[in-house]
Structures are given as C-alpha cells and as structure tokens.
Amino acid sequence: QKEVEQDPGPLSVPEGAIVSLNCTYSNSAFQYFMWYRQYSRKGPELLMYTYSSGNKEDGRFTAQVDKSSKYISLFIRDSQPSDSATYLCAMSDNFNKFYFGSGTKLNVKP
C-alpha cells in the first residue's frame, strides 16, 4: 500500500467553479500536511501548510485535514485558468522526509 494516495485526474472544470482535491494516507504518524502546485516543466511550489487536524484558509484556497479519517483536502474557490496545474499533496511526521501524492492534474477552462 502506498503511503499517500491521490487521484491523478485529470480534473477539468469551468472557470469560477469550486475545485476539490483530495489525498488519503496510511501512516497515522503524519502530522504535517502540505499542498504544492506544479506547472509543466517546473518544480513544485508550496501553496498551503497545515499542522494536525483542522482548516486553514489563504485567499481562494482552503486546506482541510481530518486525521481521524486520514484524509486531506484542498479547495479552490472561484477557480481561474491560471490555476491549471498539477497539485501535489505531501506529508511528514518529522520534516526529515516528505511523502508525496502522485499529483492531480487540474484544467480550468475559460
């Protein structure tokens, strides 16, 4: 079983839609959760960081962590064509090693 599971998509939505991206994981020791955005032929860039369970909001982005279900989500409100990218979830128990999902490719159509 993979440490982190993420639906690869692709996910195609119209501009302005609310996007929901999700990951599940198996290691209950994970307590640090991150979402990265990766444009084609670029390295990932950090979008959101959450510690333990709960919600965190930053502009149009909301990250949710449910440790009891081992499930994390990223919501994008009022999605824009510029949000089209691959979104990777990542998690860690001690910051010495990060475990990444395979990424979900998102396409926001104008």
List residues near another protein by CB under 8 A. Answer: 2, 4, 6, 8, 32, 34, 36, 41-46, 49, 88, 90, 92, 95-103
Taking the least distance from each CB to another protein, the nearer of 42 and 77 is 42
Q: In terms of CB distance, is 14 or 43 closer to another protein?
A: 43
Burial bucket for residue 89 (CB in 10 Å: 0-12, 13-18, 19+): buried
CB of 90 to another protein, least distance (A): 8
- Whether the CB-CB separation of 59 and 82 falls below 8 Å is answered with no
Distance (Å, rounded) from C-alpha 54 to C-alpha 65?
5
Q: Which 3 state secondary structure label does DSSP give 82?
A: helix
Shortest distance in whole angstroms from residue 30 CB to another protein? 12
For the CB of residue 25, give the shortest distance to another protein in the complex, in Å.
12
| 60 vs 105 by CB, closer to another protein | 105
Q: How far is the CB of 1 from another protein (least distance, A)?
A: 13
Give the residue among 69, 52, 61, 72 at the shortest CA–CA distance from 18: 61
